[in-house]
Structure 1
Amino acid sequence: MKNIGLIEDNESLRAVFTAYFNASSTFDVVFSAGDIKDALQIKDAVPQILLLDVDLPSGSGIDAIPLLQQNFPGTKIIILSSLKDANLTKQAIQNGAWGYLLKTSSLDYINESLMRIDDEGRPFSPETISHLFKQTTAAPQETSLTKRELEIVRLMSEGKLNKLVADELCISHFTVNQHLKHIYKKLNVNSKPELVAWYLSYAR
């Protein structure tokens, strides 16, 4: 059972998501708040996953990601919004979001996407994955990464799991993990969101 926090200002939607996840055998909503300032007052619950709207009464959820990470250390923050602007997707990842899901996606799709987090999956709706494709078409600049390492980072930035990266490159899952260790060390990053943020900046 994974604990979920929810920040959504639409009370009806908040109730729908809360009821849906609480009815599942996989997730449990430990808190739901209508705004960022309300969520920051919560000290007795640290969710493993935080679903965060963008357009909130006290400001942008994307801008608040670093502050929420301080308040909920170790929590994976997933944007859940009706806004599907490519710049918002990019900014969310750069600010530390683990994924970007759209409210127009079915509840089953959202549920399945969140379940893949255990395998280091990064939840994206198809439209927001396409935003990452669009942001990574420019010719890259100089980097210390090898061609194979760059291929791995590019595939990771598209939301692919380690196993899918291995299959696409015809290498083992172990080899992908070894490459990632070297990549993290070279770039001085500690997580996949940081890695994707670096690539988005590098390839623009």
Structure 2
Amino acid sequence: MKNIGLIEDDSVLVNAYSKYFKITKTFNIAFSVPDVSDALNLAIADPHIILLDINLRSGSGIDGIKALAQHFPKSSIVILSSLEDAKLTRLALENGAVGYLLKSSSLAYITESLLKLDEGGIPFSPVTISHLMQGGAPTLTEPDTAGLTKRELELIKLLSEGLANKTAAHRLNVTYFTINQHLKNIYKKLKINSKSELIAWYLNKS
């Protein structure tokens, strides 16, 4: 069972998440705190996932993503918010979040989305996926492509639309292993280390 950290100041929601994860035996709650500063004071092992709200007592949770990533370098940070805003979705990814889920989504959908992280999936609610493509997909030309091949660019586009690695492999008619090799090459060319950085790079080209 994977450990998950909650940064949420609504105790009713925290109880709902905790009970659901316990009943479905999907996640173990490693910690639950109302603000980023409280999480940064914890001396515990990195949880697999941190669910982060945006509206917190100290301000925007998005501003705390980088500090959380430094304190919990092995954790995947996912925004869980009631705010449906394209700018916030993009800003969250640019700051290092790996996904953006809405509280209006069902607990089953939220859980399923988080579980797909192991398959290379990116947890998004349907509305926030559309946020990524607002303004249209970027048209990349040299030197914007940083030496990426046409197939690598196709893969980046699919991943930016929220597809998991396995789904992208099926769409491109290649093996899962090939997708992973493509990603290694892409990360090396762009000098990045994660899918969230990759999507942020892609969005900045639009």
Q: Tell me: CA distance 1:54–1:141, structure 2 relative to 1, closer, same or farther (3 Å).
A: farther
Normalised to the residue count of structure 1, the TM-score between the two structures is: 0.94
Q: Offset of 1:169 from its aligned partner?
A: 1.6
Structure 2 residue runs of 5 or longer lacking an equivalent are none
Per the alignment, residue 186 of structure 1 pairs with: 189
1:200 to 196, 200, 203: 203
Per the alignment, residue 86 of structure 2 pairs with: 86
Give the counterpart letter for 1:198 in structure 2. W
Q: Offset of 1:177 from its aligned partner?
A: 2.0
> How do 1:1-204 and structure 2 match up within 5 A?
1-142=1-142, 143=145, 144-202=147-205, 204=206
Give the counterpart letter for 2:184 in structure 1. K
Structure 1 residue runs of 5 or longer lacking an equivalent are none
Say which SS state the counterpart of residue 14 (structure 2) adopts: helix
Q: Offset of 1:39 from its aligned partner?
A: 1.5
Give the counterpart letter for 1:151 in structure 2. E
Say which SS state the counterpart of residue 30 (structure 1) adopts: strand
Say which SS state the counterpart of residue 122 (structure 2) adopts: coil
Runs of 4+ in 1 over 6 A off after TM superposition: none
What count of residue pairs does the alignment treat as equivalent? 203
Contact 1:136–1:200 under 8 Å retained in 2: no
- 1:103-137 CA-to-partner distances (Å, cap 9, x unmatched) read 00000001111111111211110100111121542
Give the counterpart letter for 1:120 in structure 2. G
State the distance in 2 between where 1:135 and 1:31 align. Answer: 38
Superposition RMSD in Å: 1.3
Say which SS state the counterpart of residue 162 (structure 2) adopts: coil
